[in-house]
Amino acid sequence: MTSGRNGELLDAAYALPPDAVSAYQEHGFVHLPGVLAAPELAALRGAIAAQVEARRQALPPMAERTTYDRAFIQVMNLWRENEAARRFVFSRRLAAIAAALLAVPSVRLYHDQALYKEAGGGPTPWHADQYYWPLSSDRAVTAWIPLQATLLPMGPLAFSPGSHRLRAGRELAISDESEAAIGRELAGRPLVEAPFALGDVSFHGGWTFHRAGPNQTVAPREVMTIIYMDAEMRLTQPANSYQQADRAAWCPGVEIGATISSPLNPVLFP
């Protein structure tokens, strides 16, 4: 498939199921079928393989890693590395879904990241993404995009429906502590954990608690994520060291209280 044709597919509209927006607002996440096609995913997979492998080579053996580094290999801002990754991250189809779910007219890129869970990789502890983000509202959403069919033994995302309304646990980074403490808060609540067919994409809000099991297979769980935010999102005073790092990495030159419109935060839709 030519790059031009792949770009056209990535910009084609996706027909949201009638209840998708209400489900997202009620539960804090939605799992959408058939958003992407195999050629689009294969093109991205090939485009980012070298960067992911370089990051893997730089990590110590699995047994010597922290809980965080056992959970996944993390590579960010891949859209700046090559044109194929850029075409994918700039997909109008994905950005339009994000805008509809957030109920905003326009969305910007916060950042992208690959999250590869190696064969034998550990669980991803309970957490909420927005702990890491110095953002002025909850109008931000992460698209979680598996690059292969992802069965339960590979460690797909699991969500706690409605947990975006809870306050307890929001102060915790991804860690053994967050797994235990948030797990206690969520005890007795429903858990949604389902396999992903090739082409499925989930979207979850910044304060929605989620986790992933270990990868019990012999193949890596390859995932791309794109974080979208309301195009009018403003930068807030960082509340922790992670938010300070995010401000420097993803919002260069943006002043506290200003719209996050740096060169790293282009408008992706419309």
The 3-state DSSP class for residue 47 equals helix
Domains of the chain, residue spans:
17-125+137-234
pTM of the model: 0.94
Q: Is 259 left (phi over 0), alpha (psi -120 to 50) or beta?
A: beta
Rounded CA separation 212/192 (Å): 11
Instruction: Write down the residue that tokens 């506290």 correspond to.
Output: 256
Rounded CA separation 34/227 (Å): 20
The pLDDT value given to residue 5: 52
Q: Which is it for strands 73-76 and 107-116: parallel, antiparallel or unpaired?
A: antiparallel
CATH number corresponding to 17-125+137-234: 2.60.120.620
User: Can you read off the two tokens belonging to residue 120?
Assistant: 């034998």
Asked if residues 126 and 176 have their Cβ atoms less than 8 Å apart, the reply is: no
Instruction: Write down the residue that tokens 């326009």 correspond to.
Output: 106
The pLDDT value given to residue 176: 95
One pLDDT digit (tens) per residue for the chain, 270 residues? 334 455 577 999 999 999 999 999 999 999 999 999 999 999 999 999 999 999 999 998 998 999 988 898 999 999 999 999 999 999 999 999 999 999 999 999 999 999 999 999 999 999 999 999 999 999 999 999 999 999 999 999 999 999 999 999 999 999 999 999 999 999 999 999 999 999 999 999 999 999 999 999 999 999 999 999 999 999 999 999 999 999 999 999 999 999 999 999 999 999
48: phi then psi, degrees, rounded to nearest 5: -105, 0
Asked if residues 133 and 140 have their Cβ atoms less than 8 Å apart, the reply is: yes
Rounded CA separation 102/134 (Å): 18
